[in-house]
Amino acid sequence: MTAIKTVPLGGKNSLQVTNFGLGTAPIGHTASVSDTDADATIRGAYELGVRLFDSAPLYGMGEAEIRIGRALQGIPRDSYVLSTKIGRVLNADRSAFVYDYSRDGVMRSIEGSLARLKTDRLDIVLVHDPDADVVDHEQDALDGAFPTLQDLRDQGVIKALGAGMNQWQMEQRFAEQADPDVFLLAGRYTLLEQTSLDFLERCKQKGVGIFLGGVYNSGILATGPHETAQYNYMNAPTEILAKARQIKAITDRYDVGLNVAALHFSLAHPAVTSLVVGAVKPSEVEANIAA
């Protein structure tokens, strides 16, 4: 991708973020990612110029936040931006969580994140997947989570708020009702899928920032369209494999890697502030930045 640069976040703040961020969902998996690799990945990203780190209590049941807090110790806090999420409140031993989008749930979630991240403040707090439970929590988020985050933003406790989801439709409603600064949208604006175009344009008009996650659609645009390639966290269906093969034929014609095209395509949309891309080794961060 092009060189890492600092850009305005959007919304009602003066926050600046890098156009490339480290997503830490995979770093939370302690069974497959060692502490050594996790620390090296996070520190390596910082040393390469990444200044945006996105996490959530859900990622490894708090382990991703713990690893960020450990890896960034000793680095000036004002030199990077932390984004985390609310909506799933972990119990005391981090063995389970409950969905909670109430004011109390927001405050308890933030308190836990601050402790795990070893910091005294959060920059960005996102409402996490209010559509993920068997019960839809959209109204709970509008009645509880968003007003609480707005109060915290007004008090200067956090700098920005929004939502992080895999769907744009609910985020579009939040854009009109919840006074957000930024949305994290995963998997809905990629080489394989552009269903969110109208939503992105609306956010651009409103000055709301966009972080894009899932730019590889959970794997297929990074690994290529082989038979066991992953798409949206499952084996890619036949029609997606066929579409990915058509795209790869074009990128091959121009001697461009499919993963490289995927990153550049997603970042090129004028509404997009940053790409938030996961990695579990320093070499993966280096490869993404060099793409």
How does pLDDT run across 217-259, given as a tens digit for each residue?
999 999 999 999 999 999 999 999 999 999 999 999 999 999 9
- pLDDT, mean of residues 125-137: 94
Residues 6 or more apart from 212 whose CB is under 8 A from it?
184, 185, 186, 189, 266, 267, 272, 274, 275, 276
Percentage of the chain surpassing pLDDT 90?
95
Span 258-286, pLDDT tens digits = 999 999 999 999 999 999 999 999 999 99
So what's the architecture of 6-290 in CATH?
Alpha-Beta Barrel (3.20)
Domain ranges of the chain: 6-290
Query: Can you give the pLDDT at residue 187?
Result: 97
Q: With 70 as the cut, is the pLDDT of residue 1 above it?
A: no
Query: Can you give the pLDDT at residue 133?
Result: 85
Residues 6 or more apart from 86 whose CB is under 8 A from it?
57, 101, 105, 106, 109, 110, 125, 126, 127, 128, 145, 149
- What does the H/E/C string look like for 61-128? CCHHHHHHHHHCCCCCHHHCEEEEEECEEECCCCCCEEECCCHHHHHHHHHHHHHHHCCCCCCEEEEE
Span 52-80, pLDDT tens digits = 999 999 999 999 999 999 999 999 999 99
- pLDDT, mean of residues 176-187: 98
Contact (CB, 8 A) for 189 and 217: no
Query: Can you give the pLDDT at residue 13?
Result: 87
Span 73-92, pLDDT tens digits = 999 999 999 999 999 999 99
Query: Can you give the pLDDT at residue 2?
Result: 60
Contact (CB, 8 A) for 263 and 1: yes
Q: What sign does the CA torsion over 208, 212, 213, 217 have?
A: positive
Q: Which residues are catalytically annotated?
A: 54, 59, 85
CA distances from 229 to 136, 152, 222 (A): 30, 42, 9
- Identify the band that residue 134 occupies on the pLDDT scale cut at 50, 70 and 90: confident
